[in-house]
Structure 1
């Protein structure tokens, strides 16, 4: 059965909208530090707060949507996301911004986790694969576009005006999804929280879930730490980049639209664990390259870091799917909880490192976290 173009557009926009706001503030951190008189650590927490909100809600949103429905959660979450985004334009200090960024993060699992459940219920296997590819492409574009737009808009309209435009964009996306995403036809309410909590307890003792979650925590810790504080490094001497130039740097994220499909070939040939080891080593090489002075070397290093992360995430999700047969959606929720908690940890740890030793200090923390990731893979994860 051919998938309607408007359905694909709705799924793509949902993926894009979910990640449009999550990391967008990274492109304007130097400006925010100056205007709101924030420290490096506080600026990092403006990124980490949203990631923390995502982490805390991820395991529970699936259970809530199992009880109450799919489309209503997706649309409501998109609508809600536009509210704290608009209020960011009125932030009086960095503390208000951190709080509003946290509220943004609470909306994201209602979009991502619930959409995956919706697609799995409503479509056949071949259609699911195609729609998931559309969704992943949307998330990659959203991660790039959020930073890109906010960086350029802040130069044209100030960062407050930029947040107002971003809020309007989120609202427009919500209205499009409301009109174009088909209603659930196969959803059956399952408000069985007792069974869900029993499954949760089981997963917390499952070494496959625990090891994959630890790995995910290390992965996003290094990604958020790297892409948050590389902005401060490049805004400082000798580079002196402005917001729009920093926004351009995030074009390296678009490599994910190419790398993610290629990761399937690597897993087919080498297995998930060997693929993860290769990808983590690739990211470590990228971090080392950022220590060189030429901007071309730094950009090449960022390409390697992000590519390694995309491959690692795809292989880790495949690892969970191969080893966890019961309660997969909850297992995925736990993985994403650890994954995004790592992002918050990365924003905080690397903020301390940058305040004490600038970019070389951040690079040292990133390499230590990636070394820990390798240790988890080699000691705790079964080779498949």
Structure 2
């Protein structure tokens, strides 16, 4: 820890990072609520529009590792705030792109910028806050993640329903700029950035490869690899099911509006609640038991949607979200608990696999969508969940014994 800070500064840090998190997840997930508008504006198929989330998730995933290295070398503030300002500057570029390939390239770039906050924020809090404050701050920050994701998707649906493409981009750019200015004002007095140039900070001299030692160490740990895979595969299903169900609900017999289809994202709230209660659940069920229950909920929820009624779809997504967030909370915390050192890098690897799963899910499920519509997406999802169950069984065999979740998870 770089030094104890006052309560007032602690609040500034928590509010600044949480607001930064909200704006990052708005920017990441807003396009998921705009899929019909994107398909219309760029004259592409609705299925192809789901790639917009995949490309940003892909570049975000691998960029997490780079930010983990850079922030350890030169401090947390500079890479975080520079990435936020660059994000604010790149949003208006959406007005000048005139092809789908250019739009995907821009989102690929933005994914790199979006990675800074999730890669750095928890390490920033750990540097500055004592443990009792860290527990509460972590809970507040994670709630901001969820809030930003929900607001981004709903805002995207509102834009698709009521605004033009130009007005949507202007509104997003304005929201991002205001949030970045406020976050900068909160965080600037707490800057911990050294003046050492980045290239010098990353030099390792005779210890060549030392910055990557933590990544190599964790990838060589079979227990950690299992949790990386489980989290990535579960998110591969969850986030992309939410993309394709919007396209399904736009079609007959449902005919929901562009904004109405984004209301399905409110089902995420069951996951927020289940993640909050996951600590007590793991004490009673243990890690293997909780993973097994979570997968059952995701499978049951997916199958329930095949009844193809509005009620069945809503209930199915409530069950799936509950199961997924239990998996996410369990895997995320187990990575932190089981890592024997370089914990920031262990968490960065988990998040890398997590978002890499999101990026691969769209291309994987798209052929199922084209062949059999929503039923095909469910069948493809069940294949992935079956593979996930194999890895969960591996965790049961190798990782016996319940390990309590940290309170801030």
TM-score class, shorter-chain normalisation, is over 0.9
Q: Which residue of 2 aligns with 1:146?
A: 152
- Report the counterpart of residue 382 of structure 1 in structure 2: 399
1:39 counterpart = 2:45 = yes
CA RMSD of aligned residues (A): 2.0
Q: Residue in 2 aligned with 1:219?
A: 234
Partner of 1:157 in structure 2? Answer: 163
Task: Quickly say closer, same or farther: Cα 1:5–1:114, change in 2 above 3 A.
Answer: closer
Q: Can you list the C-alpha shifts for 1:267-322, whole angstroms capped at 9, x where unaligned?
A: 22222232122112111111111112221211111111112111111100121122
Cα distance in 2, alignment partners of residues 154 and 114 from structure 1: 32
Deviations, residues 230-280 of structure 1 (Å, cap 9, x unaligned) = 111111111112221122221222334322211111122222232122112
Are 1:364 and 2:370 counterparts? Answer: no
Counterpart check, 1:249 vs 2:264 = yes
The corresponding residue for 1:17 is: 23
**Correspondence 1:167 to 2:173:** yes
Q: How far is the alpha carbon of 1:183 from its aligned partner? A: 1.2
Q: In 1, are the aligned partners of 2:336 and 2:346 still within 8 Å (CA)?
A: no
1:324 to 325, 339, 343: 339
| Pair 1:284–1:192, CA change in 2 (3 A) | farther
Note if 1:132 corresponds to 2:149.
Answer: no
**2:312 matched to 1:297?**
yes
CA distance in structure 2 between the partners assigned to 1:310 and 1:133 by the alignment:
14
Give the aligned partner of residue 407 of structure 2. none
- Matched residue, 2:293: 278
Question: Do the aligned residues in 1 keep the contact of 2:202 with 2:211 (CA within 8 Å)?
Answer: no
Could you tell me which of 186, 190, 193 is aligned with 1:183? 190
Secondary structure class of the residue paired with 2:306: coil
Once residues 185 and 344 of structure 1 are traced to their aligned partners in structure 2, the CA distance between those partners, rounded to angstroms, is: 33
Q: Within 1, Cα distance between the matches of 2:287 and 2:95?
A: 43
SS at match of 2:400: coil
- Kindly provide the CA deviation profile for residues 192-249 of structure 1, in whole angstroms up to 9, marking residues without a partner as x: 6532222222222210221111112201110122011011111111111222112222
Q: What SS class does the counterpart of residue 325 from structure 1 fall into?
A: coil
Q: Is residue 2:210 matched to residue 1:203?
A: no
CA contact (8 A) 1:89 1:161 kept: no
2:88 to 82, 91, 100: 82
Tell me if structure 1 keeps the 8 A contact 2:77–2:192: no
- Measure, in 1, the Cα distance between the counterparts of 2:165 and 2:316: 28
The 8 Å contact of residues 15 and 137 in structure 1, kept in 2 or not, is answered as: no
Q: What CA deviation, in whole Å up to 9, does each residue of 1:32-82 have, x standing for no partner?
A: 223312134521211101110111111121111111221222221221222
Deviation at 1:161?
A: 1.8
Is the 1:143–1:253 Cα contact (8 Å) retained in structure 2?
no
Asked if the contact 1:28/1:159 (under 8 Å) is kept, the reply is no
Task: Name the counterpart of 1:354.
Answer: 369
2:248 aligns with one of 217, 233, 241: 233
Could you tell me how far apart the structure 2 residues matched to 1:7 and 1:331 are? 23
1:82-121 equivalence runs, <5 A: 82-121=88-127
CA distance in 1, matches of 2:304, 2:270: 18
Gaps of at least 5 residues in structure 1 are none
Q: Which runs of 5+ in 2 are unaligned?
A: 1-5, 402-409
Partner of 2:58: 52
Alpha-carbon distance change, 41 to 249 in structure 1, aligned in 2, over 3 angstroms: closer
Residue 353 of structure 2: aligned partner: 338
Indicate if the aligned counterparts of 1:154 and 1:160 stay in contact, CA closer than 8 A.
no
Report the secondary structure of 1:132's partner residue: helix
Q: 1:8 to 1:328 in 2, by over 3 A?
A: closer
Seen in structure 2, the aligned counterparts of structure 1 residues 233 and 118 have a Cα distance that, compared at 3 Å, is same
Q: Distance in 2 between matches of 1:85 and 1:327?
A: 34
List aligned pairs for 1:65-76, cutoff 5 A: 65-76=71-82
TM-score calculated relative to the size of structure 1? 0.94
